[in-house]
Structure 1
Amino acid sequence: MNPNNPTEDELTEWAFSEKEWPDQNWDLFLVWHGRFDWYIRLAEDYTCPKRQFFIDLLYYVVGYSFKKTEVDTDALLLRLVKEAQNVKSKEVRIWRHKIKLLKSGDLVFIQEEWWSEPSSAT
């Protein structure tokens, strides 16, 4: 597998394996790869052994967008909300809700607080 450009099959195979990260920058490569629909699907799959990795990756994507000036954060947040439109898992719904709060201005992005869970999600 090419860690900085995995196919959907390779990513899924890794997600359901016992294998360690294929590269120390695996999470960053996946952010750059930008297949958020795959990441959301795997974060929602309760049978996926690496489900928590993908939930964490979704948070990392948003945090990364706020740190990098070359990323159009507004466009990315809009894309993520759209791609997560029909999510069912509580953890991914909370993530989506927090993005909506960021977009509306009801939540200010603070790196240290980004990972904490709000009291409710819609």
Structure 2
Amino acid sequence: MHSITYMMYYHIVNNELKMISDFNCVNVVQKIIEYLETGKISQALHSEGQEVILLENIFGSKFSSPVKITDIRTIDIAEGEIGIMYIYKKGFEYGHVFNVIKKNRRLMLINGQKGIMQTFEKAEFIEYLKINRYVNR
């Protein structure tokens, strides 16, 4: 998955690998889901920050009520389920969305913008969006 996210989110300029944008995580999570469903790779478009309600409209679901990061295990995620998590810190204007997959009873937290696993060091709260997509079912 690491090399796939680089193809979606980076491009080469003057022989250097450059990030497309710092604020297009809403576009990136959609491209990760598209890849998981079709196997086709395409780049996420550059954009300014977008409201997460856009994802609710696309997937026909609502983000869960906020829970503290320490209570992440209370979120109901089925084995093989693909979803989207929204993390933020109280009082901050912006948060971050990323993909999550539950596999072998563990959560894979995919930060497609950086091509790494997501961490929670700068976040306090999390909301989960069920999108009714699954792997290995």
TM over 0.5: no
Q: Which has the higher contact order (CA 8 A, sep 6+)?
A: 2
TM-score under structure 1 length normalisation: 0.29
TM-score under structure 2 length normalisation: 0.26
Would you tell me which structure has more strand in proportion to its own residues? 2
